[in-house]
């Protein structure tokens, strides 16, 4: 992850969102949306229990994971084919229900990366209605259990366990 990537993400979400509401976080309607992929990317970058390749690919995948769904910006040409593939695997145009059904057919790395995404959304999920939060937590718990089987104890699994009610 380089400064150029951070600038690309900021510009994608702040200057080229598909809808103006996509430029800010739901919880307050003010916080720039780009804080979400930055949190996800930096969180996996410091996950020292993961191997370097997973952390490096994961930080780029998580940085760019919402570009296709939420912005009008293309992915940079310089991203590796593997990173572009993983970003595509994380992209669900049919929304949350499609994601919850299809995630189990994706590579294990995608489920790992989605856990970072879901945990951050739960951390800022005060906007979620109780029934939506419950469904979101149940899905995140399934991701958490899957990630623990594949990767063991990680910082993100500990954070997930702490915030799931």
Tens digits of residue pLDDT in 145-163: 999 999 999 999 999 999 9
Question: Counting every residue, how long is the chain?
Answer: 165
3-state helix, strand and coil shares in percent for the chain, rounded to the nearest 5: 70, 0, 25
What pLDDT is stored for residue 22 in this prediction? Answer: 81
Specify whether the backbone of 152 is left (phi greater than 0), alpha (psi in -120 to 50) or beta.
left
Q: What are phi and psi of 54, to 5 degrees?
A: -65, -40
What pLDDT is stored for residue 88 in this prediction? Answer: 96
Residue 32: strand pairing partners: 24
Using one digit for the tens of pLDDT, what is the confidence trace for 2-49?
999 999 999 999 999 998 888 888 777 788 889 999 999 999 999 999
Burial class, 140, CB count within 10 angstroms (exposed 0-12 / middle 13-18 / buried 19+): buried
What pLDDT is stored for residue 1 in this prediction? Answer: 82
Q: How many CB atoms lie within 10 A of CB 105?
A: 8
Under CATH, domain 3-163 is a member of which superfamily?
Hypothetical protein af1432 (1.10.3210.10)
Using one digit for the tens of pLDDT, what is the confidence trace for 78-118?
999 999 999 999 999 888 899 999 999 999 999 999 999 99
Using one digit for the tens of pLDDT, what is the confidence trace for 118-142?
999 999 888 888 999 999 999 999 9
Return the residue matching tokens 């996800």: 40
Q: Which two tokens stand for residue 124?
A: 């800022």
Give how far Cα 125 sits from Cα of 117, 129, 133, 158, Å.
Answer: 12, 9, 8, 18
What pLDDT is stored for residue 21 in this prediction? Answer: 84
The DSSP secondary-structure symbol of 152 reads: -
């Amino acid at each position: 992850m380089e400064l150029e990537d951070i600038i690309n993400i900021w510009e994608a979400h702040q200057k080229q969102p598909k809808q103006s509401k996509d430029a800010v976080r739901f919880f307050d309607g003010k916080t720039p949306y780009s804080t979400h992929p930055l949190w996800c990317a930096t969180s996996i970058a410091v996950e020292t229990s993961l191997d370097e390749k997973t952390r490096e690919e994961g930080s780029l995948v998580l940085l760019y994971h919402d570009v296709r769904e939420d912005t009008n910006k293309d992915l940079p040409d310089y991203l590796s084919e593997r990173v572009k593939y993983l970003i595509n695997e994380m992209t669900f145009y049919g929304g949350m229900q499609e994601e919850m059904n299809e995630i189990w057919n994706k590579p294990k790395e995608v489920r790992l990366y989605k856990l970072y995404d879901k945990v951050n959304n739960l951390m800022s999920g005060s906007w979620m209605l109780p029934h939506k939060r419950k469904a979101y937590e149940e899905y995140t718990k399934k991701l958490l259990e899957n990630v623990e089987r594949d990767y063991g104890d990680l910082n993100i699994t500990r954070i997930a366990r702490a915030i799931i009610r």
